[in-house]
């Protein structure tokens, strides 16, 4: 294990901003939106203090933020921005364009309810609305992972086999504003890890002028979409490769999914983001009581870890999926995907869907315990959506 | 040092302007000449143009994959964000130049953004205003054909009253759009530290001079180019220049510039021809002219044109030698 060089208690926003300082991108577009705001504020301060020499674009909207980073990334610059909720929704159109132009933009998203009625607190409806936009989605449990993924995202997105933009999801307020101890990699090692930008077909190469974003009709569009689909397929092996390199400098090990006490687990819970921490704590409590329980946390949600989940969930007694977003008129997004993956399992476990924490509603150990207890009792219904922490 | 026609003719006998043959714009469209004039001057002055384009006729007609009529760096992003996109490109240029990563560090770059009136007056106004406020060094050129022509002649904030459009048509009860054309030039001129001008392809020397000025201006520039859509204005394929001349002679499209708040009329008219001549020369006003209230609308346009012209004369006098900053 490498020696810890820099251990600090910081907010998740500060941790992410510090990763951005170490990356020192060529261009960062900044626009405030709660709870993302401190990320661009910290970063702007780093630039103001000369700790990064990035060109900032203090845009007039998130739509322009994404538009400007698309222009910058196409030009051959390493370009970043950060957003949340309605800001991400305002970017939506250009989020698709960024992926379609195969621009390796990295964007931390401080996940927040996509209102209305207006709500500024954490849930995953913002990122879920972008799950089919062609962006890679990494999900952090805490400030440490948000920091680590911001660094790793640069290498994953820019990789020759990938060339796709990456969202680093961190739960709004819970991670973005909560203070935690974070182990930072020292600046030189971080800079060496992210390396020089890998640039493809830069707009500003006058000798080889390129046309970005042409009119792509039915005679070619489909093939271009197929190429994006193929690029997504390469993400997993690139993620593993980058994770290995990252482990060497940090001692921290990442994979497509995290498995917590799953080896002999009969009951497995699946969740994204910070709630995984509370689940781990609950798993420990239930283990003390003799229950064989475990947690699976997807670190990568797009591309979806279908094979990884199939492999681990096959033959278990029950799978409980927790979603921090609803899909109105359909099953919750993570549940739907897990259930679909299990269709192909040789021995299908019982499965249950729990929606929790919308608009920042707290999730408690008792809530998680309740969902596990339903599973212990064989009381899971695949076709029923249940709610944790809801007054009914 | 201003370029003359002879110099340009010699220069471009064997040099392409950046947008080449093979595009699929309608015969007689004024837009490609707007682009050519701008890029020619940039190249003649030793600049390497980098082009951003908003969604619109010009974009869909010049880049039908796998073909491209552009042989200069070109980026299209979406409808409403060409100014934001080019501000990203321009910022990347500064970052890469500073960090020594430009492929051609010794070249002089000129950043252009082109958009139609829909992408400029309306949906793109926010990103344009933001980019100008931030002071990116770029030249925004609107080719103003007074409607959403790419999607088939719908009303825009630039459409004059009484012009036939599909979303504000002239009918039995209503006489089309009621509002007067938005004065985009004044809106842009209201920003600090900006060079703003109107041009027309029917006045090439004036056009050239203004592009030269924009290239040399230390800050963003906005140029509004009168750009008849022969298809939906219902005029002949060879009439774009004639109509443009009428627009200038009637005062409908005054040629002027505003440099840091200082107004200067660049084509001084002794008297204005009646705006009715401009209106009657186009088929798009035919449904209006058949209606009983046609005179009211023509008079309304005339009053606006006359009062704006007088105001311009007054502004020129009042702002002489009084730049904002």
Q: Quick: pLDDT tens for B37-65.
A: 999 999 999 999 999 999 999 999 999 99
pLDDT (mean) for B291-296: 96
Question: Which structural domain range is residue B275 located in?
Answer: 5-319
Give me the number of domains chain B comprises: 1
Share of chain B above pLDDT 90, in %: 92
**A92 closest CA partner among A59, A132, A58:** A132
B23, part of any domain: yes
Alpha-carbon torsion (B53, B54, B56, B60), positive or negative: positive
Alpha-carbon torsion (B183, B224, B235, B281), positive or negative: positive
B212, part of any domain: yes
Whether B205 has its CB under 8 Å from any CB of chain A: the answer is no
Distance CA(A64)–CA(A58), nearest Å, equals 10
Q: Which residues of A touch B66 (CB under 8 A)?
A: 220
Q: Which residues of B touch A227 (CB under 8 A)?
A: none
B198, part of any domain: yes
Tell me the per-residue pLDDT of B104-153, one tens digit each, with 9 for 90 and over: 899 999 999 999 999 999 999 999 999 999 999 999 999 999 999 999 99
| ipTM of predicted complex | 0.96
Distance CA(A153)–CA(A137), nearest Å, equals 9
B36, part of any domain: yes
Q: Which residues of B touch A26 (CB under 8 A)?
A: 92, 95-96, 99, 101
B325, part of any domain: no
Whether A107 has its CB under 8 Å from any CB of chain B: the answer is no
Q: What is the CATH number of the domain that holds B189?
A: 3.40.50.970
Instruction: Read off the pTM.
Output: 0.97
pLDDT string in tens for chain A (392-residue length) = 566 669 999 999 999 999 999 999 999 999 999 999 999 999 999 999 999 999 999 999 999 999 999 999 999 999 999 999 999 999 999 999 999 999 999 999 999 999 889 999 999 999 999 999 999 999 999 999 999 999 999 999 999 999 999 999 999 999 999 999 999 999 999 999 999 999 999 999 999 999 999 999 999 999 999 999 999 999 999 999 999 999 999 999 999 999 999 999 999 999 999 999 999 999 999 999 999 999 999 999 999 999 999 999 999 999 999 999 999 999 999 999 999 999 999 999 999 999 999 999 999 999 999 999 999 999 999 999 999 999 98
B123, part of any domain: yes
> Do B89 and A74 count as a contact with CB atoms less than 8 A apart?
yes
From the list B48, B78, B127, which residue is nearest A206 (CB)? B48
Tell me the per-residue pLDDT of B66-117, one tens digit each, with 9 for 90 and over: 999 999 999 999 999 999 999 999 999 999 999 999 998 999 999 999 999 9
Q: Which residues of B touch A207 (CB under 8 A)?
A: 103-104
> Do B84 and A216 count as a contact with CB atoms less than 8 A apart?
no
Three-class DSSP labels, B255-272: CEEEECCEEEECCCCCCC
pLDDT bin (cut points 50, 70, 90) of residue B12 is confident
B215, part of any domain: yes
The answer to whether the beta carbons of residues A70 and A98 sit under 8 Å apart is yes
B324, part of any domain: no
> Do A76 and B86 count as a contact with CB atoms less than 8 A apart?
no
Tell me the per-residue pLDDT of B169-180, one tens digit each, with 9 for 90 and over: 999 999 999 999
């Amino acid at each position: 294990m490498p020696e810890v060089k820099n251990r600090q208690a910081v907010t998740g926003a500060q941790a992410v901003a510090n990763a951005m300082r170490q990356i020192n991108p060529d261009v960062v577009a900044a626009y405030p939106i709660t709870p993302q705001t401190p990320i661009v504020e910290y970063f702007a301060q780093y630039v103001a203090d000369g700790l990064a020499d990035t060109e900032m674009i203090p845009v007039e909207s998130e739509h322009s933020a994404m538009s400007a980073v698309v222009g910058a990334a196409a030009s051959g610059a390493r370009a970043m921005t950060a957003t949340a909720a309605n800001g991400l929704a305002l970017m939506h159109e250009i989020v698709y364009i960024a992926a379609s132009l195969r621009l390796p933009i990295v964007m931390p998203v401080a996940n927040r309810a996509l209102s209305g009625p207006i709500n500024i607190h954490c849930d995953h409806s913002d990122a879920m609305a972008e799950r089919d936009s062609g962006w890679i989605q990494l999900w952090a449990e805490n400030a440490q992972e948000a920091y680590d993924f911001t660094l790793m995202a640069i290498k994953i997105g820019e990789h020759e086999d990938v060339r796709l933009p990456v969202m680093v999801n961190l739960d709004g307020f819970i991670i973005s504003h909560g203070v935690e101890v974070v182990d930072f990699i020292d600046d030189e090692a971080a800079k060496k890890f992210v390396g020089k930008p890998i640039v493809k077909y830069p707009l500003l190469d006058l000798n080889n002028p390129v046309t970005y974003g042409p009119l792509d009709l039915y005679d070619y569009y489909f093939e271009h979409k197929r190429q994006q689909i193929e690029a997504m397929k390469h993400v997993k092996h690139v993620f593993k490769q980058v994770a290995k390199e990252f482990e060497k400098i940090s001692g921290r090990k990442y994979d497509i999914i995290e498995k917590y006490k799953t080896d002999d687990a009969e009951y497995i819970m699946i969740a994204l983001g910070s709630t995984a921490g509370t689940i781990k704590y609950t798993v420990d409590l239930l283990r003390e009581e003799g229950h064989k329980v475990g947690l699976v946390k997807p670190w990568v949600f797009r591309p979806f870890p279908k094979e990884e989940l199939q492999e681990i969930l096959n033959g278990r007694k029950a799978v409980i999926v927790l979603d921090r977003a609803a899909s109105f008129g359909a099953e919750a997004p993570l549940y739907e995907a897990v259930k679909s993956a299990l269709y192909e399992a040789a021995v299908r476990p019982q499965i249950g869907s729990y929606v929790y924490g919308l608009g920042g509603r707290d999730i408690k150990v008792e809530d998680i315990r309740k969902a596990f207890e339903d599973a212990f009792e064989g009381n899971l219904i695949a076709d029923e959506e249940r709610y944790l922490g809801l007054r009914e | 040092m201003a370029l003359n026609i002879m110099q340009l003719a010699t220069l471009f006998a064997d040099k392409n302007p950046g947008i080449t043959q093979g595009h699929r714009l309608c015969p007689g469209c004024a837009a490609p000449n707007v682009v050519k004039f701008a890029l020619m001057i940039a190249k003649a002055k030793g600049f390497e143009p980098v082009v951003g384009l908003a969604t619109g006729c010009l974009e869909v007609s010049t880049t039908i994959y796998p073909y491209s009529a552009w042989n200069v760096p070109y980026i299209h992003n979406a409808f409403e964000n060409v100014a934001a996109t080019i501000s990203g490109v321009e910022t990347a240029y500064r970052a890469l130049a500073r960090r020594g990563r430009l492929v051609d560090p010794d070249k002089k770059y000129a950043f252009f953004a082109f958009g139609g009136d829909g992408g400029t007056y309306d949906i793109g106004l926010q990103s344009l205003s933001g980019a100008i406020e931030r002071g990116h060094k770029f030249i925004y050129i609107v080719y103003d054909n007074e409607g959403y022509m790419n999607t088939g002649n719908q009303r825009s904030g630039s459409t004059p009253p009484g012009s036939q459009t599909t979303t504000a048509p002239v009918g039995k009860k209503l006489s089309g759009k009621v509002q007067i054309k938005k004065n985009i030039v004044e809106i842009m001129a209201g920003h600090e530290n900006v060079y703003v001008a109107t041009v027309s392809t029917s006045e090439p020397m004036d056009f050239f001079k203004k592009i030269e000025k924009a290239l040399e201006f230390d800050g963003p520039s906005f140029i509004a180019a009168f750009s008849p859509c022969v298809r939906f204005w219902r005029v002949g394929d060879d009439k774009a220049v004639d109509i443009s001349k009428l627009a200038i002679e009637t005062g409908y499209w005054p040629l002027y510039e505003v440099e840091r708040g200082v107004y200067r009329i660049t084509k001084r008219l002794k008297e204005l021809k009646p705006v009715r001549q401009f209106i009657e020369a186009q088929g798009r006003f035919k449904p209006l002219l058949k209606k009983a209230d046609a005179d009211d609308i023509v008079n309304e346009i005339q009053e606006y044109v006359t009062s704006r012209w007088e105001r311009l004369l007054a502004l020129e006098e009042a702002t002489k030698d009084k730049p904002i900053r």
